[in-house]
Structure 1
Amino acid sequence: MKTLKNHTLIYDNECPMCNLYSKGFTKCGMLDEDGREAFTEITLRNKLLIDFNRAKNEIALVDHNKNEVVYGLDSLLLIIGNSFPLLAKIARTEPLYWFFQKLYSFVSYNRKQIIPSSKDYTEQSCVPDFNLKYRIAYIGFVVIFSAYILSIFSGKLNLNLERNFVREFAVCFGQIL
């Protein structure tokens, strides 16, 4: 794979998901071995370049050649596009880019709920802002997904219950309320 040189990905090291994919970028050779840096251990050089608050919500990719920073989905597409240009070009087409942008924000704002960190949060922690729209979408997704899975199993467990999504949805939604 083609390595993106002189770039540093600032990742949330307290997020297991972020840790995994950023390490994957370096292991696969998409980034240099020193091409990622933990948010809580950020160097002064990178701290001066990034928007600290924005980097809590969107992963930052620092270009040391131009002293520029790219955030969020664009940073991921820059890394992936360096090795797979066609894939990045397809992902940047208007309807797909809009969808991936929403999906990225959905995961980014809810990453501490999807996979909680075992560490205590400090002022320097990479905790995303609370976004009501994406939190409600996450809760709705969890309720629908849980109800679907429960409806499958309720019909298969010999409990004299037939598969009923509406019943399971009511139970899951009732628990949230």
Structure 2
Amino acid sequence: MRNILVLVGSGTKKGNTSQLADAFCKGATKAGHRVHKVFLGDKKLSGCQGCEACKGKNPICIIKDDMQEIYPLINQCDTIVLASPLYFWTISAKIKAFIERLYAIAENDQFPPKETVLLMTAGDDNFWTFEQPISYYSFVTKAIRWKNIGMCLAGGCKSDPKNKYIDEKFLQRAHELGTMI
């Protein structure tokens, strides 16, 4: 059984990215895993300011925001799921801020071992739609020595202020990914 932390970096609680994350969570729960979902859209979360305070005698991040609630969740999990809409050709700023703030938990440039999953949604569905975020995610996971164990990339999602639409095939893929990890 895994302890899974699902971070949703969308600004819309009932949007396509949240639906994709929920499908993953249902699959993972069905498989017997413990799942904790955090909606980052409700969190005050700043990026790293490069102050290096976390590398001093008292190795903690000195930025007083909601990341302080997330650090213990990172320690308790063995799998981290990053769920993000495609914003301006890459992951959302909330997910990026989370990644930057991981610097505080590194000891001698070593990060605690984790497995990761990437869930993403986008309005378009071109062959290159997810190229940049996959490249970034792959680079980050390799650099901090985390193991990518799966992705679900949902292109062609539709959205307007009142209606969200994600193809059922992507929800099914996310659910299956949750059951298989």
TM-score, normalised relative to structure 1: 0.30
- Higher fraction of helix: 1
> 1 or 2 for the larger relative contact order (CA 8 Å, sep ≥6)?
2
- Higher fraction of strand: 2
Larger radius of gyration: 1
